[in-house]
Structures are given as structure tokens and as C-alpha cells.
Amino acid sequence: MSRRYVVQVGEEVLRKKCDVVKSFGGELDSLLNDMKETVRAESGAGLAAPQIGVGLRAVVIDVEEGYYELVNPVITAQKGEQRGAEGCLSVKGKQGTVRRPYKVKVEYQDRKGKKHKLTAEGFFARAVCHELDHLDGVLYIDKADEVYDLPPEGK
Ligand code: NI
């Protein structure tokens, strides 16, 4: 496993529609291992493959409910609305206020290709929606009501 450089806004890979993962094991394992190490090192709630320069439909989510690896994820249902603060490891030093569904249902595959379903709500749902947007080249700053600068780190 190794920690990877997180691509910053302005780089083209963040704006591309990612490809469906068709081959499981080997390279996908390495990718997901690196994503886990990177999201933990950066203290993020989630990370999408394009954020480390890989245009594949894979994200990791690291929230109170647990650590999830979602390959080829699709939102199949959504309910309600929440409005709250959001940041992104690819948009350093900023936060924005974004509207998201309160609850989402997702179908995805794990790193072995096995199919699963999950239901997420609250912050977990927000993290899922944010990371899935990355797979279609969408950043939260495209959707935010407002984007503002955070105080310098350590303050
Ligand atoms: Ni992000």
C-alpha cells in the first residue's frame, strides 16, 4: 500500500466520466489499498479513484458507520433533502454549502466483484453522493450554494 498524491481541481482527470470496472483482483486490489491509505492519511470522509489519477468507477468511504469500498456504485433510490457543509481533498482550503438527498440506496460491487446493496443517511449519504459525483466529473463546487475559504490549518 502506498499513499498517493491527491489530484487538485484544474486537472483534467477530475472532469472525466470514469470507466466501469470490468476486471477484479490484482490491479483493483492495489488501487483500493492505495485509496484506503490515502483517505486515512488525509483524514477524509471519502476518496474517488480519479482523485488519485485513475479514471475508474471506484470510491472509498470512511465514516462513523464504517469503511466501505464501492466499485461500480449506482444510486437506485433517494429520499428527502439535507443542506450542509462539504469539503473535498481535491479542493484544498475550501468548504461549501451543498444540498443533497437525506437518504440514498446504492448498489455496488466489492473488490471481488460480488454485488451488494446499502442504505445511507445523513452524513454517510452526503459522502456517498459526493464521491459518486466524482465518477462523473462533478465536484461539489459545481453544486454549492456558496463556497468559502477555510482558516489556515492549525487554527
Ligand atoms: Ni471530493
Distance of alpha carbon 85 from alpha carbon 102, whole angstroms:
14
Condensed to tens digits (0 to 9), the pLDDT of residues 25-66 reads: 899 999 999 999 999 999 999 999 999 999 999 999 999 999
From residue 74, alpha-carbon distances to 71, 118, 119 in Å are 9, 11, 12
In tens, the pLDDT along 78-130 reads 999 999 999 999 999 999 999 999 999 999 999 999 999 999 999 999 999 99
Which of 27, 76, 73 has its CA nearest to residue 54? 27
The rounded distance, in Å, linking the Cα atoms of 35 and 29 is: 10
CA of 89 to the centre of ligand 1 (A): 6
Active site residues: 131
CA of 28 to the centre of ligand 1 (A): 20
C-alpha dihedral sign at 3, 42, 14, 119: positive
Model pTM score? 0.96
| Distance (Å) from CA 55 to ligand 1 centroid | 14
